[in-house]
């Protein structure tokens, strides 16, 4: 009778332990920032965005230089022209300043929209590869271990090398 009780208790403990082990989720991590910066597509995208940004900067700098030149000219001539001309020039300068500010805002919005457009397929490709590798290795959760992502300890399996292999680099 004592042996049956001991055997029953041991069986219950064994079943309880196996359920606890089965209930634990398999978790891995990957530094998505490192992955994205290593992707060749990202390097090409950054080069494209940098080129576009330089185009906007060049145009902006041209507008600002033209603005400064006009202000210098108008300041130098202010005492030799009538008040009506000075008022007209002041209005012209204010309008020019407004156009420059509008251009800067528009350029910033366009650059941001272009960045989203370019990065979206790259991010999607990385996400699909992470999911593929995680499923192949039997992980239920993958945490982003990039700095500032909220992961305080990333001591488990790291999928970065496997995802890079999957992506072909």
76: domain CATH number? 3.30.910
The verdict on residue 52 lying in a domain is yes
Range of the domain at 109: 25-167
The verdict on residue 1 lying in a domain is no
Q: What's this model's pTM, rounded to 2 decimal places?
A: 0.68
Q: Is the pLDDT of residue 93 over 80?
A: yes
The verdict on residue 79 lying in a domain is yes
> How many domains does the chain divide into?
1
- Following DSSP, what letter does each residue of the chain receive, concatenated? -HHHHHHHHHHHHHHHHHHHHHHSPPEEEE-HHHHHHH-HHHHHHHHHHHHHHHHHHHHHHHHHHHHHHHHHHHHHHGGGS-HHHHHHHHHHHHHHHHHHHHHHHHHHHHHHHHHHHHHHHHHHHHHHHHHHHHHHHT-SEEEE-STTSS-S---S-B-HHHHHHHHT-
Report whether 107 contacts 56 (CB < 8 A). yes
pLDDT tens digits for range 31-54: 999 999 999 999 999 999 999 999
CA distances from 83 to 65, 76, 88, 123 (A): 25, 14, 9, 59
Nearest to 151 by CA among 30, 26, 25: 30
Q: Mean pLDDT of all residues in the chain?
A: 87
Share of the chain above pLDDT 70, in %: 85
The verdict on residue 18 lying in a domain is no
The verdict on residue 157 lying in a domain is yes
Q: pLDDT grade, residue 3 (50/70/90)?
A: low
The verdict on residue 12 lying in a domain is no
The verdict on residue 8 lying in a domain is no
The verdict on residue 71 lying in a domain is yes
Q: Is the pLDDT of residue 55 over 60?
A: yes
| pLDDT confidence of residue 100 | 96
Return the sign of the alpha-carbon dihedral for residues 103, 108, 112, 115: positive
What distance in Å separates the CA atoms of residue 104 and residue 25, rounded to the nearest whole number? 49
Q: Is the pLDDT of residue 75 over 50?
A: yes
């Amino acid at each position: 009778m004592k042996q049956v009780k001991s055997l029953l208790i041991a069986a219950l403990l064994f079943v309880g332990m196996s359920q606890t082990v089965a209930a634990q989720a398999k978790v891995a991590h990957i530094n998505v920032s490192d992955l994205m910066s290593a992707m060749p597509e990202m390097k090409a995208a950054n080069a494209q965005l940098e080129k576009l940004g330089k185009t906007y900067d060049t145009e902006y700098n041209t507008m600002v230089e033209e603005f400064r030149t006009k202000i210098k000219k108008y300041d130098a001539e202010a005492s030799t022209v009538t008040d009506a001309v000075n008022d007209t020039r002041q209005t012209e300068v204010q309008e020019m300043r407004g156009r420059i500010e509008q251009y800067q805002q528009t350029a910033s919005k366009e650059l941001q929209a272009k960045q989203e457009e370019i990065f979206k397929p790259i991010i999607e490709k990385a996400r699909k590869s992470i999911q593929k590798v995680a499923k192949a290795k039997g992980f239920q959760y993958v945490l982003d271990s990039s700095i500032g992502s909220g992961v305080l300890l990333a001591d488990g399996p790291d999928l970065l090398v496997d995802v890079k292999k999957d992506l072909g680099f």
